[in-house]
Structures are given as structure tokens and as C-alpha cells.
Structure 1
């Protein structure tokens, strides 16, 4: 399936938020959003931690967001009759819209009054947060999608990365999915999110430093060297295709953790070719199904796309997907204990090579 076969239609919700439909066989004109919605909230702010030198987002208005509604009140299902949801259409393939309860809001990042902090850094939490709905089936998950639908989701990620990267003040675009109540999801309908950050997040900053130091020390590409080592060792490779390799990292922090690297270095999702996007859809579904088969039940997970920042480090950072789960055994979860929460030192109960072997052996 090529990008040209994915149709796109943009519109507005009742409170002015943007909504974009992505369709595989055309997009019927959706009904207008007739809800009487209150004005959009804008209470997000950012404060800078001088010890860790990291921005912290404070979004108190999100306390009132929708939390685990009943199936017949799901806001991500298609609208039907008098039941009006966040998606006005009566059917859809993939849809993206601005979050009604965003952590980051459309703003210019203006300075706010100080509250006695050591450095006056308090400002509005400028940025953008979007919801990506993977399909209309409330009871499905990403692993249940067809390769064609998964490919449409990839195209939505590409489209939104390109659009959000062009917004003033955006420094990095982060596409991700939380699945399962164990990861803190508030809606069970299969969906992900996209954050457009007004700063480069701390983890990306640290990886940038590592990539720069590796290049200075060896002259090489850190990600290419990691990928080459994993492919040559083979003991942690879970699956491999023409354009991608999925492997458990040697220093995995989580009981179940898989990284997916493209074989060709690209900085972000828009940099992938059509063939690479097609190939990813198939390999990703294979990995997700292996993970679900691991303990004989749907696995809670976080799936996170790491892309290069918009304006710097694009020659150093490589696109990759990092996928991990907090489940360490049937009925048992890994909680962040004192060393992890207090000091950032992870202790993994599962040997990475064993995790990779069990994933390879999982029936799909």
C-alpha cells in the first residue's frame, strides 16, 4: 500500500480543535460536530528544575479528563444517532484530533508570574497534544489490525510529524501508545497520542550527548554500531525483515523490551520510504503478537517513537521504536521501586537473552 492510496480529510470539532481523517478507500464527508462544548482549557504551564535541568509540565486541568468510561460512553467510538463522540463520523479508518484535555496547549510560551522559584522560568506550556485512533472497533488493539490498517496508522504518524514539526516553537514530535490499565490508560479504545514539545526532552538530550561522544571517539554512528552488534550477535534478535530489525537491547531495563531499528539511517518518520513503511507495518504486528503470546494474555505496554529533534542533532539521532512492558510474569508487574524511582538505576528481573529467546519461540 503506497502513501498515495491513503486519503486525507481535515475538519474542525465544535470547539475549534482540528480533526484529520485518514481513509484507505476514500473518506465520506463526516457529519458536523453538533455538540455544545465549553471553550478549550489553557491552564498548562512549565517550570524548570534547576537540579536536573529539565522542564516539568504542570497541567492541573487534566484532573477532570474522562477516566475509564463504560463502553457505551467511549468518546473515541464513531458517533451514532444522538450519541455524539469526539469523532463526528459514523465510521472511519484512522482519525487524529487535538486532545480535549491537553498537557500542552497552543500558546506562545509566554512568561508567567514567578512563584518564588530559584530561577524565574515559569511559563505557559506551549505545544500541542493529539489523539490517534487506530480504528472504530472498541474491543480491538493494535495487534488486531490488518497490515493495511497498520500501514494507514504509519501514514497518519508521518503526516502529523510533518505538520507538527512545522509549527512555531516545536522542538520535537513524540508519537506513542500506552496500552492497558497497568500503564495508566484512561480510555480502553485502541489509540495512541502525539506530543509536540516546545523543548527537547531530557532523554533525547542525553542520547544526543551519547551519539556525539561516540562519533568523536570512534568516528562512527552510534545507532548503526548498536544495530550491527545486535545483528552479528543474533542472540537478542526477535525478528528481522528486509528493512527492519527487532531486538531486545543488551541492557534492557524492562522485563519485556524490544527495539525496532530501520536498517537505513533516517532521522524521523517522514524520512522512511514507502517500502520501509510497508515493511514496518508487517514486522511491528508480528512483534506485538509475539508479546501477547508470551504470557497467554494481552500484554500492557508502552510503544514510543524516538525521532530526531526538529532543528538540531538530525545528523546524530536515528529513528527507532522502543517497546516495553511492565509485566514480568503472569499476574506479576514490575513496579518502579526505590532504586528506579529515586535514583534512576533499573534492576531487571529477566535476562535480556532469555526474554529474546522466549519472544522468538512465542507462537503468533
Structure 2
């Protein structure tokens, strides 16, 4: 059973994909993403792999039920891909070389452009789930890409608010957020020539980092080679800092926010950024989304980001000290 069911209360669609419940917990001695498994090439650096348990399909089956009353159902059209970061089963993203991460950014860009070509794809989302705390069953370093045939509600809301802000002020909202964070300064963790990383004023996670392009760019395909390298460096540095914070691989959900497919007008008011949703609030304590957050979307951060930003900045300095011997080579 794979289908889309309409939620009339929210004007949104729920993906139903019962085969995903059979995703395996991998045994210690086998990984389909490792060379030698027979599932991937014997030699690769980064790789696109079609998801074995997709929630969206290029040729989806007919829905299992018919719509009735306010309920609607449609085929689950779209695409689900896995992006393998490395053939090394135990590698983490900050342990990869800068040149290697640039290759990952280039693969993301290639898939973003290709999936946007389909006239039925409304939004292409690149993301990564990391750690058992967010439900990861496959430890091999990887991310995913979903190409949705229905605009996801959160993205729809974000685009609408960016459009309204642009209409009222003539400014890009993310550009103004960058300027405001630069002026305040205390929430900024890191910046290089092309990107700035900060815990935004409003984030609902104690360590809910944003990585935002300094120039007004709306998608990976607009970046120069220098900007792609700066993006790769930003990812390496910031995930390395998070891993240093509690001296453990930091669990997170990471999502690349880019312009919508086939909507060129969004180039005026939308702005590329990466959002992290890390569930840890302390070394062994989870920041849960409970009834108020889920039932009302009334976000509540348990810590002021002006305080957690300082902790993450200190972790970044420790990360720099720990890795200084290898930095010149990159």
C-alpha cells in the first residue's frame, strides 16, 4: 500500500507507505551500502541509490481505498533516493576530506536539478537523519532526497511568509535575518566567505543551527564552485562542532531548504539555507516534541539560544584545536 491521503483539517497530504515498516535493522556483519554487498558498485566515492522502501514512486500503484466525503486519495507519485556519502561504513561527515564533501555537494546539485525537471514534482527536499534518537536503522553514512508531487505544508508556509515579507518590505526575509544576526553577533557560531551559521532568534531546538548563504541564492544550482566549497566547509566545521559538544556523534535531522520546482518567482524572495533539528538538549537528555508542540504547533525551546550558542561556539573552538594538524592539508 503506497498512496497519498488528504488531511482536510490542514489542507495537507499524508504519505501512506506500509512497506516502510519492514525496513531492516542491519546485522553487524552486513551492510547493503558497503562495497562487496552486491547492491552497490565495488568502487565509489559518493553515490545515488534508489530507495528500497520508497514512500513516493515514479510509477505508483492505484490507491487501496476510494475517497469519500471530505476525504481524498491520490497516487503517491514522486521519487525517493538515498545519497551515500562514502563507501566507508564508519565514516562521519566531518571526518571526510573537504574535497570529498564537495563531491557530495555536487551530487546533491545534480540530483536537485534532475528531479526538478519532472513537471509533476513540486518540491525536492534533500535531508539527512542521523542517529538512533531520530529513528535511523542504517548506520552507514547517508542522506536522502524526496521529490514530492504535493507541496509539503511547512515549506508552503515558509514560502508564503517569505513572499509576504518581500511584498511588505521589498527585502528577502533570510537576507534580513542574516543582517540582524550579524548585528547582534551573539548567536553566530561560524562564518566563512560565503556562508554564516547561527542559532536563529526563534529556533525551537536548543542547538537548532541554521547554515545560510550570504549571497541571495535560492538553490544549489546557483552556487559557484567557490561557494560549493564554502558550503562543504561549513558542513564539515559545524557538524564537527556538534560532535565535539558532548564528545559523541550528535544526532540530528538536517534539511536543505531551496526554491520550489517550476516557481521562478520564488527567486526574488526565497533564500537557500540548511536547518538542523538536533534532539539533544543535554548530553543524555532529549528535547521531545510533546502534546503542545505536536497538537498546536506551539514550539517551546527549553533553553535560550543566546546561552546555547556560547556552548556551541566553545565546542567549535575545541574542534578546531583537535583538528588543527589536518587543516592545512585541506
* Fold similarity call, TM over 0.5: yes
Whether contact under 8 Å (1:177, 1:192) holds in the other structure is yes
| Residue of structure 2 aligned with 1:62, choices 11, 16, 20 | 20
Q: TM-score, normalised by structure 2?
A: 0.92
How far residue 315 of structure 1 moved from its aligned partner, in angstroms, is 2.5
The equivalent of 1:31 in structure 2 is none
Partner Cα separation in structure 1 for residue 31 and residue 81 of structure 2: 17
Structure 1 unaligned residues grouped into runs of 5+ = 1-42
Where is the helix percentage greater, Structure 1 or Structure 2? 2
Alignment map for 1:179-328 (pairs within 5 Å): 179-312=130-263, 313-328=266-281
Partner residue, 1:161: 112
Answer whether contact 2:251 2:279 (CA < 8 A) is retained.
Answer: yes
How far is the alpha carbon of 1:108 from its aligned partner?
Answer: 7.2
Shift of 1:314: 3.3
Instruction: Specify whether residues 211 and 109 from structure 1 end up closer, same or farther in structure 2 by C-alpha distance, changes over 3 A only.
Output: farther
Q: 1:316 Cα shift? A: 2.1
Partner secondary structure for residue 208 of structure 2: strand
Gaps of 5+ in 2: 320-330
- 2:29 corresponds to which of 50, 60, 72: 72
User: In the alignment, what sits opposite 1:99?
Assistant: 51
Deviation at 1:259, TM superposition (A): 0.4
Alpha-carbon separation, structure 1, partners of 2:194 and 2:180: 16
Q: Is contact 2:3-2:63 (8 Å) kept?
A: no
* Match of residue 347, structure 1, among 300, 309, 315: 300
Task: Report the secondary structure of 2:129's partner residue.
Answer: strand
Between 1 and 2, higher relative CO (CA 8 Å, sep ≥ 6) is seen in 2
Q: Distance in 2 between matches of 1:293 and 1:277?
A: 24
Tell me how far apart the structure 2 counterparts of residues 49 and 267 of structure 1 sit (CA, whole Å): 29
Instruction: Identify the residue that residue 290 of structure 2 maps to in structure 1.
Output: 337
The CA RMSD over aligned residues, in Å, is 1.5
What is the CA-CA distance between 1:54 and the residue it aligns to?
A: 0.6
* Residues matched between the structures, number: 315
CA deviations on 1:224-247 (whole Å, 9 max, x unpaired) are 111110111111000010000000
The superposition leaves residues 48-72 of structure 1 with CA deviations (integer Å, 9 ceiling, x where unpaired) of 1111001111011212222x21232
In 2, Cα distance between equivalents of 1:117 and 1:166: 34
1:299-330 superposed Cα distances (whole Å, 9 cap, x missing partner): 10111100110122333211111112101111
Q: Structure 1-normalised TM-score?
A: 0.83
Do 2:163 and 2:270's aligned partners in 1 also have CA atoms closer than 8 Å? no
What SS does the aligned partner of 1:163 have? helix
Task: Give secondary structure in 2 for the equivalent of 1:260.
Answer: strand
